[in-house]
Amino acid sequence: MDRRRFILLGTAGSVAVLTGCGGSGGGEGAVTPPAVTVPPPASPPVSNPPPSTPVSPLTVGQPLTNLVRLANTSTTPNVFAATLVAQRASKAMLPGSPTEFWTYNSLVPGPLIEVYEGDTVRIRLENQLSQETTVHWHGLPVPPDQDGNPMDPVAPGATRLYEFTLPVGSAGTYWYHPHPHEFTAEQVFRGMAGLLIVRSRTDPVPAAIEEKLLVISDLRLATDGTIPANTPMDWQNGREGNYLLVNGQHRPVLSIDPGQSQRWRILNATNARYLRLALTGHTMTLIGTDGGLLRAPVPGLDEILLAPAERVELIVTANLSAPTTAVLQSLPYDRGGMGMMGPSSATIPLLTVNYTTATRAAIALPSTLNAIADLGLPIQSKRLVFSSGMGMGGMGGGMVSFLIDGKSFDPARIDLTSRLNEIEQWTIENRSSMDHPFHLHGTQFQVVSRTRNGTTIAEPFVAWRDTVNVAAFEAVTLKVVQQQLGKRMYHCHILEHESQGMMGVLDVIV
C-alpha cells in the first residue's frame, strides 16, 4: 500500500484542476492560474490530525541540544569511516506513548557527519528496515554509483559500502537521506535525514564565532503517538506535520551572549514545508548557501526563504540589550496547492533565542569570503517544464500526476544527456499553480535569473546551490556543469512529488 504512483482525487463531477499545463500559447509568465475547485474535505480520521494542529503540546523550552556526531572509526589520516544503521527506534514525544521512528543509528535527526575537504569517506549502510533504502549524499560531488540513486537499492537485511573522496572547494552544508524508488517521502517523514558538513581547513569565518547547527524537520503525530501514513492530500500538496522540530526538539532555547555573533547553519529537512525564516528584533547576515560560502556577506536581511532541502549559513548578532528573548519563526508563505487543509500559512515559532547576562565583544567578519568563479558562458541549453495534470482515471476518479516534461519517472529511461565538463544553461519552467523546489544531483549550480509575469530578475549574487525554488508560474535559469560520468537524478524536492515520479534521469557522457 506504500507504492502509490497516483492519487485518487474526488469523485465524478468534482474534478479539480491543478494547472493550466495544456497550453503552450503565451510566453512564460503569461499563463493565468486556473480556477481551482475542490471537493469539501472529509472530516479527518482521528488517527490523522490535520497538519499544523498539535494534538498535544510537546515539551518546549529545553536547551537546544547539539547534534550527535558520527564517530570516525578510521585511524588513517584523511579517511572518514563509519557505519549508518537504518533501523526503527522509539523516542518519547507525547507523554506516555513513545513514538516509533525510522532512523539512522537510532537518532532523530540522524547523526552529524563532519568531514574535511580532501577526505575519503567510507560509510557502510546496514539496512535493518523492512523496505529497501539507500543513502543519498545530497549536494555532494560524489560518483553516481556511490550516490544512493533509486536504481541502486539496498535490500532489507543487506549492507553496502559508500565510498567517495571530497574535492577541495567542496566545503559547505549538505545532508544525507534515503532515496529508494517510491519510498523516499515515507522514510524521511519517519525520521531518516541527517546533516553533513564538509569543512575547509582554511575557513575564512573566524573560529571565535560560535557555530550552531539547526536541523529543521517536520513531524506529524497522531494522538496515540504514532506517525500516520500520508493522506491523499499529503501526496498532492506534500506532507506537513503538526510539529516543526529543531534538532528533534520542539521550540528549544538557544543562548546567546549580548554582543555575540553566532554562525548558524540551517537545514530544511522537511518533506514539503517552506520556511520563511525571520528572527524577531534582528536582521540576519547571509554568508553561505547549499554549496558553501558566498563571495561576500549579505547583511541586513529581515527574512530568508528556505525551501525543502535548502541550507543556509547565517551570522546572527545579539545587538539588543539583555535581558531579552527573540524568536526564530517561519512566517506565512503561500506555496500554492489545493484544499481547505492545504499547506499551512501560519507563523510558526521554531526556536527561542535567550540573551544571557554575560557580554562579548563583536567579532568582525571578513569582507570577502569565497572566490566563487562565475561558471562562464554556456555552450548548451536545456529547458525543463514542471506541470501537474489531471488524468481521467477509471470509475470517474481523477488522477493527479506531477510531471517533468510531461513524463513520470522511469528508472530505465534516460531523459536528458549532458557532456562531461560542458557548461550548460538550464531553464526550469513551472507551469503548475504550486511551487516546486528543483534539485539536481552531483554538482552545485549557479542561478542566473528568475522570470515571473514577464519580468526577468537577475540573481543578485553568485551562490552555489543544488536546490532552488521555482515558484508557481515562474521560470528559473541556472548554469551548471557536471564533472563525473554516469546517471544523475533531478527532481522536485517536495518528497511526495519525487516519490510519485516528479523526477528524471540525466546521463552524463563523454
Could you say whether residue 177 binds ligand C2O (CB under 6 A)?
Answer: yes
The residue with its CB nearest to ligand C2O is: 138
Q: Do 118 and 78 touch, CB atoms closer than 8 A?
A: yes
Q: Answer with the entry of ligand C2O, Cu ion, none that 492 interacts with (C-beta below 5 to 8 A by kind).
A: Cu ion
508: cell is 552524463
> C-beta of 393: minimal distance to ligand C2O in Å?
28
At residue 499, what is the residue type? Answer: S
Say whether the peptide bond before residue 144 is cis (omega within 30 degrees of 0): no
Distances in Å between the Cα of 167 and the Cα atoms of 80, 117, 144 are 14, 6, 15
For ligand C2O, which residue of 311, 335, 441, 497 counts as binding (CB under 6 A)? Answer: 441
The rounded distance, in Å, linking the Cα atoms of 170 and 140 is 8
Of 178, 491, 499, 501, which one interacts with ligand C2O (CB under 6 A)?
Answer: 491
Torsion of CA 86, 92, 98, 104, to 10 degrees: 0
| DSSP state letter for 230 | P
Pairing of strands 424-430, 380-392: parallel
Q: State the distance between the two ends of the chain, measured CA to CA, in whole angstroms.
A: 41
Partner touching 140 among ligand C2O, Cu ion, none, CB below 5 to 8 Å by kind: none
> Smallest distance from the beta carbon of 476 to Cu ion, in angstroms?
14
Nearest Cα neighbor of 113 from 156, 87, 83 is: 83
Minimum CB distance to Cu ion, residue 409 (Å): 12
User: Which residues on adjacent β-strands are paired with residue 372?
Assistant: none
Whichever of 94 and 309 has its CB closer to ligand C2O, that residue is 309
| Pick 250 or 335: Cβ nearer ligand C2O | 335
491 binds, among ligand C2O, Cu ion, none (CB under 5 to 8 A by kind): ligand C2O
Q: Minimum distance between the CB of residue 505 and ligand C2O, rounded to whole angstroms?
A: 11
Other CB atoms within a 10 A radius of the CB of residue 273 amount to: 27
Q: How far is the CB of 489 from ligand C2O (least distance, A)?
A: 5
Binding-site partner at residue 177 among ligand C2O, Cu ion, none, CB < 5 to 8 Å by type = ligand C2O
Q: Which partner from the list Cu ion, ligand C2O, none does 179 bind, CB cut-off 5 to 8 Å by kind? A: ligand C2O
Q: Which residues bind Cu ion (CB under 5 A)?
A: 138, 436, 441, 492, 494, 497
Candidate list 179, 263, 335, 487; residue touching ligand C2O; CB under 6 A:
179
Q: How far is the CB of 61 from ligand C2O (least distance, A)?
A: 31
Among 250, 273, 276, 439, binds ligand C2O (CB under 6 A): 439
Contacts (CB under 6 A) with ligand C2O, residues 284-313? 309
47: which residues sit within 8 A by CB, 6+ positions away? 222, 223, 224, 226, 228
**Residue 467, CA distances (Å) to 90, 199, 318, 415, 453 in order:** 32, 20, 30, 19, 22
26 Cβ contact list (under 8 Å, min separation 6): none
In the bound complex, what is the minimum distance in angstroms from residue 136's beta carbon to Cu ion?
5
DSSP, collapsed to helix, strand or coil, labels residue 231 as: coil
Per rule CB under 6 A, is residue 136 in the interface with ligand C2O?
A: yes
What is the maximum span of the chain, computed from C-alpha positions, in angstroms? 69
Residues of span 311-370 touching ligand C2O by CB under 6 A? none
Contacts to ligand C2O by CB under 6 A = 136, 138, 177, 179, 309, 439, 441, 489, 491, 493
